[in-house]
A and B are shown apart, each in its own frame.
Chain A
Amino acid sequence: MNERKLIVVAVIAYLALVFVCWDDSITSSPDGRKILTFWHTYNDQEEQVLRSIIKDWETANASFTIRPVRIPFDGHKAKLRTALTVGQGPDMARVDWSFVCELARKNSVIDLETLGFEKIRDQYLPAPLKSAFIDGKYYGIPDQSTCVAMFYNRQMFKAAGLIGPAEEDQNKVEEVVLPKTWEEFIEVGKKLTDKSKDQYAFAMTNTLWWNLPFFNSYGARIVSEDGKKCVLDSDSAVQALEMMASLVNEHKIEAGAWRPGAISPEQGFVNGKYAMVFMGPWNLAKFATAKMDFGVGLIPGGTAGTSTNVGGTDVVIFKGTNYAAECYDFLTFFTSAENQKTWCTELNQLPINLGAYDLVSFDDPNLRVFMEQMKHAGPNPVVKDYALLEDLINPEVEAVLSGQKTAREALTTAAKKVQERLIDL
């Protein structure tokens, strides 16, 4: 009897659930305006600023309305790929920088030169723009850009005597001994490493994107300018990788955070185990609320001076749209200097528009370091399948870090693999 009651309750609950959820029609006011769909991956705060910018654009373009649709960043590539195959794609979308090449080679996005992009092209930061430059044409506009710089733990620097005694005297600017070159970095690193306390000067992850600052600071590139040749086996790349490996093997100032199962750089940094890590500006606000005592400096320079990687996203317009000109108009409005100023001041992000560099003034000195670092960013490798590029190179670099291969051996193998399986295919 009891069991029967349970079943009855379950059935009633199920029917109620069906009643509540089955209907998926939703009322949105059709007001005669033409709808442009914009798929994005912004978070809550970003979406609010986006909506206010959209509102401004709509007042100037009364016959159009833009519908921002948030999709999860984790699945945006899969979602776009499948949606485009059946023609369910949006008019425009914000995509990861590494995805633009695939979209362009698959002929899904519009070449922006046809819409007059060459006139305003120069106002964007060169490094992020390069990620949208595929086979001689521009297919995307950078809308958000990041890079990594060197975060350092000020308490650990003080303990190692690397921050000058300006504590008592408020007027005196305190002096921080920040390494400007990799040689200085190693020297400073030795002072900060104390294995008895399980404390290391530096921690890194081994994935290509995170390793680009090393390669870029030696002027090494992964793929040649025209995208036809893998140049990973160049002398400068070997030099960069040898230096990286020496941090781990010879000087032992790196914590081995790249090993599987190790404490990640972020976690180790937050808990005062690692004194210096490479991280992006997205962590500034987080660390500030966690009341951490940290600072940001430029990445040490190699033979080509300080440099870093470029991350972030581009906005693209799809061939399926009927209103390419309007989409283009909105996207250039969205990334214009004035709107970038609003965007960056409200969200504490780096501008991608060179015009906005003069308009934005951040209170946070760390963010200013990032703006400076961004100017020295090297371009990312533009390939059809960036994930595969990572998969081909990372194991080889790991072999060098763990001392199984020499840098030249590993990079020659990696370059050959990339050439055969990614570029020539």
Chain B
Amino acid sequence: MTSLTALSPHETHSAKVGRVLYFVLLVAIMISMSYVISGQLFKFAVMALSAYVAPEGATAVAEASKLMSSMTVVHNGLAVVLTIVLTIIVVRKFINTGHVHRMAFLHRMVLYLALIVGVVVVLFPFFWMLCTAFKPSGQELVISKTNPFDIVPSEPTLDNFRRVLKIDAASKAMAAVDAIEQKKNFGTFFLNSLLVATTAAFMVTFFAAMGAYVFSKKQLPYKQQIFMLLLATMMIPGMMFMVPQFFMVCKMGLFGTKWAMFLPHLASVFGIFMLKQFMDTIPDSLIEAAQIDGASEWQVFRVVIVPLAFPIILTLFLLTFLFHWSNFLWQLIVTNFENPLSITLPVGLALFRGQYTSELGLIMSASCFSIVPIAVLFLFAQRYFIAGMTQGAVKE
């Protein structure tokens, strides 16, 4: 109804005033949100800077805290300036918008504000993680008394990052013991996991795509029954396989190698199922056309099937990558802890947790690094990923 009145040429004075009041209300919300959010972000930047500038040592926290409080004006000022600039831009835009389009402008503003709330809700845990990574030991759980939403630490330190990357004094002393200790660092764990997860993801998608192609498009005796049999294995909980698989891996002499990390998981029934569901929607006539043009079996697969099923293949790649990136239990079992070169990230992260205490700061700073590959993958592949998630879901 409101849009109708907005478009009407004979609008009343009160409608105009109503719109302006509506606008003022939205601007007030925007100002408060902008001030709070940018205030936290600038404070975080100042905090990270002062933690970085402060030298390593016993007085580092005190110094960084002093530096930070001396820069309170800077981050508060920046937040105020940003908010003012933003307000001016929005108000000018509103004034420059013709009366007819003002309601649409307001609707768009509401939409953006709602989206910003959504973004804050989604990103808040990550921001919290980043902030906790800068907190000194013992203060991870302390909440500011004056403002519980102010989660940026006022006594920042880089010690957690140093300890995770093993570049603090104590770790250097440990590393001097022998070659094995030198290799026991986050970098090794990270690269190991990257290798295991990418290799596994490549191989799983490759095999699953070929398997799914056969189950979807080829004729073979008892195809349906074999497929049902495969699906039935999904009913068995993964835990049941663990000991036999471990036994086999050990008998093959692969204990503590990277092969052991992913070899038992290469045959992914779930992957075949997901890809088959998608490939069923590819018309057979396309394949026949390719065959008439003289395409070989492999060419049909490569030129027709894979490009068409690419979104879903990429989805499977991402899901497999995620699975192996965080597969704690299996990797723990096959890790040979005497050889740090076989330790992967989820297992390495668990080393920070004790019987009763968790080094929250260390876990958080390590997590900051560990989410990077996943974030990068999602950024590159998000379009396909979201498309793939829904495409496999419905079979028409």
Contacts and interface: CB of A to CB of B under 8 A. Distances in A.
Contacts of B174: 44, 47-48
A270 B357 CA distance: 15
A26 interface: yes
B353 A21 contact: no
A82 B338 contact: no
B66 to A, nearest CB: 15
A4 to B, nearest CB: 14
Nearest to A44: B170
Contact of A41 (B138, B329, B355): B355
A312 B357 CA distance: 12
B178 A28 contact: yes
Nearest to A14: B198
A20 B195 CA distance: 9
Nearest to A271: B143
A21 B351 contact: no
A281 to B, nearest CB: 9
A288 interface: yes
Interface stretch (B213-221, B252-260, B385-393): B252-260
Contact of B246 (A21, A24, A86, A285): A86
B333 A79 contact: yes
Interface in B320-360: 328-329, 332-333, 335, 337-342, 347, 350-351, 353-357, 359
A20 B191 contact: yes
A313 B171 CA distance: 25
A74 interface: yes
A146 B356 CA distance: 10
A156 to B, nearest CB: 14
B180 interface: yes
Interface string B247-273: 100100001111000000000000000
Contacts of B178: 28-29
Given A39-B337, A73-B355, A311-B355, A26 B183 contact: yes
Nearest to A75: B332
A24 B337 contact: no
A9 to B, nearest CB: 11
Interface string B133-153: 000111101110100000000
B247 A86 contact: yes
A26 B341 contact: yes
A219 B107 CA distance: 69
Nearest to B340: A26
A37 B338 contact: yes
Contacts of A71: 337, 351
Interface string B193-210: 011001100000000000
B340 to A, nearest CB: 7
B258 A21 contact: yes
A270 B141 contact: yes
B242 interface: yes
A67 B243 CA distance: 27
B138 A286 contact: yes
Nearest to A28: B180
Nearest to A27: B179
Contact of B337 (A28, A70, A74, A312): A70
A24 B329 contact: no
B243 A82 contact: yes
A74 B348 CA distance: 11
Contacts, number: 129
A25 B332 CA distance: 19
Interface in A265-322: 266-267, 270-272, 280, 282-283, 285-290, 311-313
A29 B198 CA distance: 33
Interface residues of B, number: 53
Interface in A92-119: 96
Contact of A72 (B179, B183, B332): B332
Given A21-B191, A48-B170, A72-B351, A26 B179 contact: yes
Nearest to B355: A73
A43 interface: yes
A346 to B, nearest CB: 13
A30 B17 CA distance: 87
Interface string A4-25: 0000000000100110111111
Contacts of B355: 41, 73, 96, 311-313
Contacts of B171: 44
B255 A24 contact: no
A48 B172 CA distance: 12
Interface string A48-90: 1001000000000000000101111111001100110110100
Contact of B141 (A26, A96, A271): A271
A171 interface: no
A75 B343 CA distance: 13
A45 interface: yes
Interface in B355-387: 355-357, 359
A266 B141 contact: yes
A45 B362 CA distance: 14
B236 interface: no
Interface in B39-70: none
A188 B382 CA distance: 58
B192 interface: yes
Contact of B353 (A20, A72, A146): A72
Contacts of B240: none
Contact of A17 (B141, B194, B350): B194
B232 interface: no
A24 B177 contact: no
A280 B356 contact: yes
Which of B141, B143, B179, B247 has the largest count of A CB atoms less than 10 A from its CB? Answer: B141
B353 A74 contact: yes
Given A21-B191, A26-B183, A285-B138, A75 B354 contact: no
Contact of B354 (A41, A67, A82, A272): A41
Contacts of A29: 178
Contact of A24 (B173, B250, B341): B341
B348 to A, nearest CB: 8
Nearest to B144: A271
15 contacts: A17-B198, A20-B191, A23-B341, A24-B256, A24-B257, A70-B351, A72-B332, A72-B350, A73-B354, A79-B335, A86-B250, A86-B255, A270-B141, A290-B139, A312-B355
Interface of B: 136-139, 141-143, 145, 163, 170-171, 173-174, 177-180, 183, 191-192, 194-195, 198-199, 242-243, 246-247, 250, 255-258, 328-329, 332-333, 335, 337-342, 347, 350-351, 353-357, 359
Interface of A: 14, 17-18, 20-29, 37, 39, 41, 43-45, 47-48, 51, 67, 69-75, 78-79, 82-83, 85-86, 88, 96, 146, 266-267, 270-272, 280, 282-283, 285-290, 311-313
Given A26-B180, A82-B333, 13 more contacts: A17-B191, A21-B191, A21-B258, A26-B340, A29-B178, A41-B355, A85-B243, A270-B142, A282-B357, A286-B357, A287-B138, A289-B139, A290-B142
Chain A to chain B: the 10 pairs with minimum beta-carbon distance, closest first: A72-B350, A286-B138, A290-B138, A24-B341, A289-B138, A75-B332, A21-B195, A86-B250, A267-B141, A69-B337
